[in-house]
Amino acid sequence: MKSELRVDPITNDVVLISPVRSERPVHLQAVSAPISRHSKPSSDSTDPFLEGNEQLTESESLAIRMEGSLPNTPGWLVRCISNRYPAVFPWQEFWNQIPQGEELLSIVGSNSDLDRARQAPLAGIGLHDVVVECPHDETHLSRLSIDQIGLVISLWRDRLSAYMQDEHHWQYGLIFKNHGRLAGASLPHSHSQMMALPFVPPRLLHEFNACRVAYKTCRDSLWSQLIEQEELLKLRVVQKTSRFLAVTPYASRFPFELRVLPLKAQAHFSSITDDDCEELATLLKGLLIALETVAHDPDYNLVIHTAPLREQEPSDFHWRLEILPRIGGIAGFEWGTGAFINAVPPEIAAAQYREALS
């Protein structure tokens, strides 16, 4: 079939799988050069994320450190700091804007009153962190050791736990990584970002509620059913470990898109164990190296979707990690329809991944 229309059974993403699109001639060149990140890193004293340059960043909120080292000094392995250019700000930044006698919630968005923002803006309150993934000069997460990647994952987990316990009762915690300029990165040093938000993103809330409704009907998780189906078909399975399954989604939005799911129902990423971190680190490193092989070291976004922070551990939801290669771009069709065109069928992508991993 020259073109296939697919809909993701859980997220409802609509995708046209159209391999012929990859044959288009391209005569335009990029206007701006990408961030230099393909050569071997060299020491740069102006890099704010290098060990020894702690004075160039905001204060750290969490770090994994060598024993005896002090906060905001050398001796760290992974470091979480406030974003110097945040998209949201702590509530203290808005304190003077609150009319006397009114509650903080009067200017904060939540899912119960997001409609208010249609008439008047609400304050952009939240936390916006940067996770510096290594103290030395490195551009690729894939080039870090498995142990170091495991530390990064464990810091993601621990900072997410802190969001859950925060007295301001954040509703959602987001973990994401922009690798390369096409993915939105502004600095080459390997890093990721985290945000605590006062609302659950509507797209995730719809998905979460759909999973809950389905569970009440059939007493089984939609994600568990999807995992069972993918294991049965095997067409899109990239790799399976004792704890995780990596697949190319049936309705992949991007060429070589990857999805990693825990095999057991686990709604909150903050619930993963140290053993989970170690196994996920091994899997993630291999997948990123394979991505660099099959897609020629592309820019990519990595996103972790997790259950809303205020929900107890529901059995009807799975957290998941997604790797979204920025190949082909988002153009007029995507903006005009909300759907996607993917020139690489996920079954072919999975086969190429398996070959690269063998």
Q: Is 38 a catalytic residue?
A: no
Q: Is the dihedral of CA 70, 52, 61, 194 positive or negative?
A: negative
Q: What is the pLDDT of residue 27?
A: 46
Q: Which residue has the higher pLDDT, 184 or 46?
A: 184
Reply yes or no on whether the pLDDT at 23 is more than 90: no
What count of other Cβ atoms lies within 10 Å of the Cβ of residue 51? 17
> Average pLDDT, stretch 243-264?
98
Residue-level length of the chain: 358
Q: From CA 77, how far away is CA 353, in angstroms rounded?
A: 31
Q: Do residues 48 and 57 touch, judged by C-beta distance below 8 A? A: yes
**What mean pLDDT value characterizes the chain?**
89
> Does the structure show a pLDDT above 70 at 290?
yes
- pLDDT score recorded for residue 98: 60
Above 90 in pLDDT, residue 299?
yes
Q: pTM for this structure?
A: 0.91
State residue 193 phi and psi, 5-degree precision.
-135, 155
270: pLDDT strictly greater than 90: yes
Does pLDDT of 42 surpass 50? Answer: no
| Mean pLDDT confidence for 296-309 | 97
Most confident range, picked from 96-105, 122-131, 254-263, 313-322: 254-263
Q: Which of 108-122, 207-221, 322-336 has the lowest mean pLDDT?
A: 108-122
For the purposes of burial, counting CB atoms within 10 Å of the CB of 111, is it exposed (0-12), middle (13-18) or buried (19 or more)?
Answer: middle
What is the side-by-side strand order in the sheet with 4-7?
A: 4-7, 14-17, 340-342
Tokens 């050069």 locate to 33
d(CA 274, CA 189): 25
pLDDT (tens digit, 9 = 90+) per residue, 54-87? 999 999 999 999 999 999 999 999 999 999 999 9
Instruction: Please determine, for residue 126, whether its predicted confidence score (pLDDT) is greater than 50.
Output: yes
**pLDDT grade for 220, boundaries at 50, 70 and 90:** confident
Return the structure tokens found at 72: 């905001």
Is residue 245 within 8 Å of 227, Cβ to Cβ? yes
**Whole-angstrom distance between the N-terminal and C-terminal Cα of the chain?**
29
> Could you say which of 189, 191, 268, 318 is catalytic?
191
CA distances from 225 to 11, 140, 157, 205, 215 (A): 14, 34, 26, 20, 11
What local confidence, expressed as pLDDT, does residue 114 receive? Answer: 74
Q: What is the 3-class SS of the chain, one letter each residue? A: CCCEEEECCCCCCEEEECHHHHHCCCCCCCCCCCCCCCCCCCCCCCCCCCCCCHHHCCCEEEEEECCCCCCCCCCEEEEEEECCCCCCECHHHHHHHCCCCCCHHHHECCCCCHHHHHCCCCECECEEEEEECCCCCCCCHHHCCHHHHHHHHHHHHHHHHHHHHCCCCCCEEEEEEEECHHHCCCCCCCEEEEEEECCCCHHHHHHHHHHHHHHHHHCCCHHHHHHHHHHHHCCCEEEECCCEEEECCCCCCCCCCEEEEECCCCCCHHHCCHHHHHHHHHHHHHHHHHHHHHCCCCCEEEEEECCCCCCCCCCCCCCEEEEEECCCCCCHHHHHHCCEEECCCHHHHHHHHHHHHC
Q: Which of 192-196, 259-263, 275-279, 308-312 is predicted with the least confidence, judged by mean pLDDT?
A: 308-312
Q: Where are the domains of the chain?
A: 4-21+48-88+126-357
Compute CA distances 14 → 4, 221, 291, 329, whole Å.
11, 22, 23, 16
Residue 341: what pLDDT?
96
How far is it, in rounded angstroms, from Cα 41 to Cα 57?
20
pLDDT at 229 exceeding the cut of 80:
yes
Best CATH choice for the domain 4-21+48-88+126-357 from the list 3.40.50.1370, 3.30.428.10, 3.30.710.10, 3.40.50.720: 3.30.428.10
Under a CB-based contact definition with an 8 Å cutoff, are residues 246 and 260 in contact? yes
**Per-residue pLDDT tens over the stretch 98-120:** 655 455 554 555 565 677 777 77
Is the pLDDT confidence value at 134 over 80?
A: yes
pLDDT-based confidence at residue 316 (cuts at 50, 70, 90): confident
